[in-house]
């Protein structure tokens, strides 16, 4: 059996790469959390306007009475967009996690071999 040891320089590069990938993963998760918060607000707004007679929209620093159907259409469109963004981020997260796993294993093996 041949004992393969990873040079320390390569290990350091792998650690740096792993840290960058984990930072990207954290950024994806923060973006997703932000979109999920916005999605919750949109869904709450849709629930609120369901039984409302008068609907208002804030534009700048004023509130304008608006047609319920128009607001509902805008909120539905925003909900759809947010769902697409969340799904896209979930795919990116999954792909990045799949990249991270082998690199983590390689770094862990190199630490074991250095001991």
The tens digit of pLDDT for each residue in 79-102 reads 999 999 999 999 999 999 999 999
Residue 23, domain member (yes or no): yes
In this prediction, residues 35-44 reach a mean pLDDT of 98
Residue whose token pair is 């208002």: 56
Range of the domain at 47: 8-114
What is the distance between the alpha carbons of residues 16 and 54, in angstroms, rounded to a whole number? 56
Confidence at residue 95, expressed as pLDDT on a 0 to 100 scale: 97
Q: Residue 108: give its domain's CATH number.
A: 1.10.287.370
Task: Please report whether residue 89 resides in a domain.
Answer: yes
Percent of the chain topping pLDDT 70: 93
Q: How many folded domains does the chain comprise? A: 1
Q: What is the pLDDT of residue 6?
A: 52
pLDDT of res. 2: 45
88 domain-assigned: yes
pLDDT score at 4: 56
Express each pLDDT in 58-78 by its tens digit: 999 999 999 999 999 999 999
What was the pLDDT predicted at 7?
65
Residue 115 has what pLDDT?
65
Are 21 and 31 in contact by the 8 Å Cβ rule? The answer is: no
Q: What average pLDDT does the segment 1-16 reach?
A: 73
> Does residue 73 sit within a domain?
yes
CA distance 104 to 97: 10
């Amino acid at each position: 059996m041949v004992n393969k040891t990873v040079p320390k320089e390569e290990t350091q590069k792998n650690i740096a790469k792993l840290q960058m990938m984990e930072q990207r993963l954290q950024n994806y998760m923060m973006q997703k959390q932000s979109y999920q918060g916005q999605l919750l607000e949109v869904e709450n707004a849709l629930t609120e306007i369901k039984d409302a007679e008068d609907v208002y929209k804030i534009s700048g620093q004023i509130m304008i009475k608006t047609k319920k159907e128009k607001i509902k259409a805008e909120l539905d469109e925003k909900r759809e967009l947010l769902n697409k963004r969340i799904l896209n981020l979930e795919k990116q997260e999954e792909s990045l996690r799949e990249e991270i796993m082998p690199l983590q294993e390689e770094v862990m093996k190199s630490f074991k071999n250095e001991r």
